[in-house]
Structure formats: structure tokens, C-alpha cells
Chain A
Amino acid sequence: MEPLIALLIGVLFAAGIYSLLRRSIVKLVIGVVLISQGANLLVFTSGGLLAGRPALVEAGATVPEAPFGDPLPQAMVLTAIVIGFGLTAFLLALVCRAHEAVGDDDINAFDNTDT
């Protein structure tokens, strides 16, 4: 399972970077979203992927029976997803306003504050 997910993370990162390098600001947003999903999956995978093995401790034991998946990364990913969701919403609103202000979808038109 892990190699497949690893491949998927790689694809997400690659597609994200490809989108980031496009000139449209909407594709920029898509790129940021894809990359952050890739990172979320990476954290998720770091806890180990095991189907049907809940990390519950049996009566009398202090640790679950190995092998078990670590539930903590799932909690962290949940936090990261929520944060990412809020930031994406903000980014979309910002892109919308910036598009109104600049009047173009092309990133090359956004050069007034550049150096």
C-alpha cells in the first residue's frame, strides 16, 4: 500500500509544481491546493497504513498488539486539512479581488510591486 501512496504523493507534488509554474493565477491556486494535499498524504502515510487494525489497547495490555497504525498523524492531518481549507478559501477570495483590481488572469500582469 505504501509504495502506491508514495507514488501518488509524488504525482500530486509534480502536478502541483507544474500548475504553479503556469501563468494563470487560477492555476496557481490549483497548484497550491494540490501540493498541500500531497503534504497531507505524506503526513498521513508516516503513521503507517494498515487496514482493519484499529489502534486499540486490549484489557491488561499497555500497547496495542503489533503491527498497528499510529493514530496521531491522522489527528494532525485533520488539523492540517482544516487549516489548509481556511487558507484556500482566503486565497480564492484574494485571487478574485486581485483579478478585479488588475484586470488580468496572467501572472505577468502582476508586476507593479515587483523589484
Chain B
Amino acid sequence: MSEYALLLPILIPLIGVVLLLLGARSLAVQRAGGVLFSSLTFAASLYLLFAVDQADYLVMQMGAWEAPFGISLVADRFSAVMVAVSSFMGAAVGIYALSEIDEARLKKFFFPLYLVLIFGVNGAFLTGDLFNLYVWFEVMLIASFVLMSMGGEKGELEGGLKYVCLNLLSSVMFLAGAGIIYGKTGTLNMADIGQQLMLAENADWALSSSMLLLVSFGLKAGMFPFFFWLPASYHTPPSAVSAVFAGLLTKVGVYALFRSYTLIFMPLFPEVQNILLWLAILTMVTGVLGAASHFDMRRILSFHIVSQIGYMVLGLAFMTPLALAAAIFYLVHHIIVKTNLFLVSGVVIRMKGSCDLAKVGGLCNSAPWLAALFFIPAFSLGGIPPLSGFWAKFALVKSGVEIHAWWAVTFALLVGVLTLYSMTKIWAEAFWKKQPEDVDTTPAKPVGPLVFMVAPIVVLSISTVVIGFFGEPLFEFSERAAAQLLDPQSYISAVLPQPAEVSP
């Protein structure tokens, strides 16, 4: 019975989309429905997390076509926790959007598109089929394209164009990689591909598609040297949209990378380990340097997404149980913190009309509560104990020291310091210094009450603190999830009814 838990996080947003389209005339219905269905999805994802932790693997074959012929939905602990934390962000940002998204955007179906985005993200985490993953990516992308550019302002259209073109290229590479691997193995089921590669004496024939997928997922994750679309576009749409993009979209790319190299292309991992390691280091360094050179809150935060992606990929590149657990913990922490920071930047824009650090100031006096709410995620991102970011970085660095990856550890620590530098810069400029004079700070007319914007920020900040102080259950869960990732054989036997024959 509990297999049906797999369907709920996908079905609920889909039903929501249909119902909201039926009630498109009433803005109240749109708002209420958006919050209701994103919260229901969150509740369903918690149920899924609970069920998966009990059962290890939940597998469902769509239409009862046995794997590897049909499309499988699979949840292990890693995908369940990703669904849970991203649905959490979906619910939080859904409430925030009540007070930020204006009528014009609501009339252009903001909330149905928002639910399509959640639908696509959850589907991508739960599918066990490579081509189906491509379709989920497209579902997610088309919703994000429209959300990014629906305001029709110049910046949004420009940023949107860059975002759309580079992501389309990445999808094309994904499709080509999936096509080649199908031509060689005759299957698209991830477990089946993984099994065939493991049984093959020499798996080098899959290198081409593995590289195509690496580039494609790297592009979606915002890894060096494919990250240029991200800081060029993420600061243009409303903060609710940037926040949910920052929290979810790049992480789907990271998730796909993890899935590729712990399951699909597991035997090829030694070939790419060094590539991943150096890409991760360069991603961290370029991201943080880009952030240091900027003076606009949202641009700084966008570059920090890039640099933080580097840490997660570093965990994958180390590939020890501790490193993978640290990376999963890092993902959870990062999604919460980064979404929160973008939400705070939205409140700053609401109060000061801008989040350009040269134009804002004095928030420490005028809104001390906001300063406190910024402090928690910002210094968690910088890795200050006892906030969640400290434990994430600590575990990652410890795993690096254990395998003597000194260069990676050095850069990870150095980038941590520079992250702190950027966060202190925002703190000093936006909150500490006096409001600069002769700057027009008349904010735009607010859409809704401030409480809907602050409540999600408070909830996310409390989560960050709780993970910091009582992070042990989450870390133990991450360790169990990492153990599953390192044991692809159990994933394969959970999905496939019987071991298939080798046909390279």
C-alpha cells in the first residue's frame, strides 16, 4: 500500500494545476489554491519520507509494466529527503508569494505554473528511468521559463533569454546522451543500465554518454565552467521566484549527478573522479570570487549558489560514506538557507525599493528583526558554529582530510572565509551603515501584508537553527542515505524483478 506514497507528491500538484486553471477567474481562489496544494504536497512528501525510511526502497511500476520495460518510480532515502525538503520550500515560498506576486502575474497563471514547477521537481527526484528524467526536466524547465520571464520587464526578458538558451542546450545534450546509452544497452531504466555496466568487463563504451550527461547536469547544476546563465538571470524575477529557483532547480542537477555516478555510471566513476574534483574546486572558487566582486544583494546571492554547488559536488567527488552523507546534509541545509536569503532580499526590496547595496542602509535601526532574520541564514551559509552550515562544512572537510585531499580541503576552507566576507559585506552595507542620503527609497506599493513574507522566513530560520543545534537525527539519516547510495546493488535488486542478461 505504501507504494502509493510515491504518487502523492506528483499527483497533488498536478490536481492543483487542473483545479486552479478551472478557477482562473478568481484571484482569491488562485492564492488559496496555491498555498493549499503546495502545503498538501509538503504533507505528502513527509509521509513519503517516513514510509521510505521504514521500507528502505519504495518502487512502483507505472501501468504494471515490469521493469525494465515500463517506467519505474523509485524512492530511496536520498530522493525522499530531496522531495521533502523541496516541497517544504514549495510550501514556504507559496505563502511568501501571497504578498509579493502582483495581480498581473496572478492573472498570467502564476500559481498553476508554480505548481507545475513543484510537479516537475518532485517527478525528477522520484523517477527511475533516464528518458522519463529528461521529460521531468522539461516539465520543470518550461514552467521555470515562463515564471522567469512572465513579468515582461526588460531585465527579466534578457535574463530569461540566456537562461532558456543554455538550458535548452543542456537538454539537447541530455537527450543525445540518453539516446547513445539506449543504443548501446537497449534500456533506459537507470537500475538496468547500472547493472549492465557493472556486469560488463570493460565499461568504457559508456564514457561518451556519461560525459554528455555530466556536461548536461553540470549545466543545470551551475557548475564551472557552465554556470554563466545563473548569475545572469536569477536576480531578475520577483524574489519569490528567484528563491524557489535558487532552492530547487540547480539542486535537481546536483541530484542527477549523484544518481549518475552512484548508480548509472558507477563503474565509470574512477575515470571522472579527478574531473569532478577539480570542477568542484573551480566552481567554489569562481563562484565566491564573482560574489565578492558584486554590490547587489541578489547578484551576490546568485554567485553564492554557484560556489555552494561546488561543495556538494566535492562530496560526490570524494565518494566516501562520510563525504556522501556530508553532501546530502549540505544539500538539505543549503536549500533551506539559500531560499531563505532570497526571501530576505525580497523583504529588503519591499522596504527600500531596491537591494543594491549602494542604495540601501540603516535596516538595523529601522527593522532590527529583519537584521536578526538575515543574520541566521547568512552566517549559516558562511559556516559559523553552531548553525547548520558549520556542521555541513565540518563533515565535508573531515571527510576530505580522511582521504588526504589536501588541495580540496584548503580551497573549501578558503572559500568558506570568502563566503563570510560577502555575507559581512551585505550585513555592513544593508543593515549596519546609515541610510545613504539623496537616494530615492520609495518602495513599490506592496501587494499584501508583510506577515505573509516574514512568517516563511521565520520558519526557515528556525529550521536552520534547529538543524544546527539538534542536527544529529538528520545527519544519521544522511548517513543511512549515503550507505544506500554506495550500495547500488540493493537499488538494482529493489527495482528489477530478476537480474537481466548482459547485452553490451
Q: Taking beta carbons and an 8 Å cutoff, which residues of A are in contact with B?
A: 20, 25, 28, 32, 35-36, 38-40, 42-47, 70, 72-73, 76, 79-80, 83, 86-87, 90-91, 94-95, 97-98, 101-102, 110, 112-115
Contact status of A94 and B232, CB under 8 A, knowing A36-B168, A43-B182: no
Contact status of A79 and B158, CB under 8 A, knowing A43-B175, A87-B142: no
Q: Can you list 28 residue pairs at the A/B interface with Cβ under 8 Å?
A: A32-B165, A36-B172, A39-B173, A42-B175, A42-B179, A43-B176, A43-B179, A45-B183, A47-B182, A47-B183, A73-B179, A73-B183, A76-B179, A87-B142, A87-B164, A90-B146, A91-B165, A94-B157, A94-B160, A94-B161, A101-B157, A102-B154, A102-B158, A110-B162, A113-B162, A113-B233, A115-B232, A115-B294
Residues of B within 8 A of A102 (CB): 154, 157-158
Q: Check B386 for interface membership: any CB of A closer than 8 A.
A: no
Residues of A within 8 A of B161 (CB): 25, 94-95, 98, 110
- Min CB distance A95 to B, Å, is 7
- Min CB distance A18 to B, Å, is 14
Residues of A within 8 A of B175 (CB): 36, 39-40, 42-43, 80
A85 to B157, CA, bound (A): 20
CB closest residue in chain A, given B157:
A98
Residues of A within 8 A of B178 (CB): 43
Residues of B within 8 A of A83 (CB): 135, 138
CB closest residue in chain A, given B236:
A113
A73 to B159, CA, bound (A): 34
- Min CB distance B496 to A, Å, is 18
| CB < 8 Å neighbour of A35 from B169, B179, B235 | B169
CB closest residue in chain B, given A86:
B142
A95 to B154, CA, bound (A): 12
Q: Check B364 for interface membership: any CB of A closer than 8 A.
A: no
A112 to B235, CA, bound (A): 12
Q: Taking beta carbons and an 8 Å cutoff, which residues of B are in contact with A?
A: 131, 134-135, 138, 141-142, 145-146, 149, 152-155, 157-162, 164-165, 168-169, 171-173, 175-176, 178-180, 182-183, 186, 228, 231-233, 235-236, 290, 294, 299, 303
Residues of A within 8 A of B159 (CB): 113
- Min CB distance B236 to A, Å, is 6
- Min CB distance A76 to B, Å, is 6
CB closest residue in chain B, given A113:
B159
A17 to B278, CA, bound (A): 27
A98 to B145, CA, bound (A): 13
CB closest residue in chain A, given B137:
A83
| CB < 8 Å neighbour of B149 from A38, A45, A94 | A94
Q: A44-B179, A45-B179, A46-B182 are in contact. List 6 more A-B contacts (CB 8 A).
A: A70-B186, A87-B145, A98-B158, A98-B160, A102-B154, A114-B232
A113 to B154, CA, bound (A): 9
| CB < 8 Å neighbour of B158 from A47, A80, A112 | A112
Contact assessment for A35 and B158 in the assembled complex, using a CB-CB cutoff below 8 Å: no
Contact assessment for B290 and A115 in the assembled complex, using a CB-CB cutoff below 8 Å: yes
A20 to B233, CA, bound (A): 19
Residues of B within 8 A of A42 (CB): 175-176, 179-180
- Min CB distance B359 to A, Å, is 17
Residues of B within 8 A of A20 (CB): 165, 169
Contact assessment for A91 and B168 in the assembled complex, using a CB-CB cutoff below 8 Å: yes
Contact assessment for B158 and A94 in the assembled complex, using a CB-CB cutoff below 8 Å: no
Contact assessment for B183 and A90 in the assembled complex, using a CB-CB cutoff below 8 Å: no
A97 to B145, CA, bound (A): 14
- Min CB distance A112 to B, Å, is 6
A51 to B431, CA, bound (A): 71
Residues of A within 8 A of B131 (CB): 76, 79
Contact status of A32 and B169, CB under 8 A, knowing A83-B138, A90-B142, A102-B158: yes
Contact assessment for A39 and B183 in the assembled complex, using a CB-CB cutoff below 8 Å: no
Contact assessment for A91 and B164 in the assembled complex, using a CB-CB cutoff below 8 Å: yes
Contact status of A87 and B168, CB under 8 A, knowing A43-B179, A94-B149, A94-B157: yes
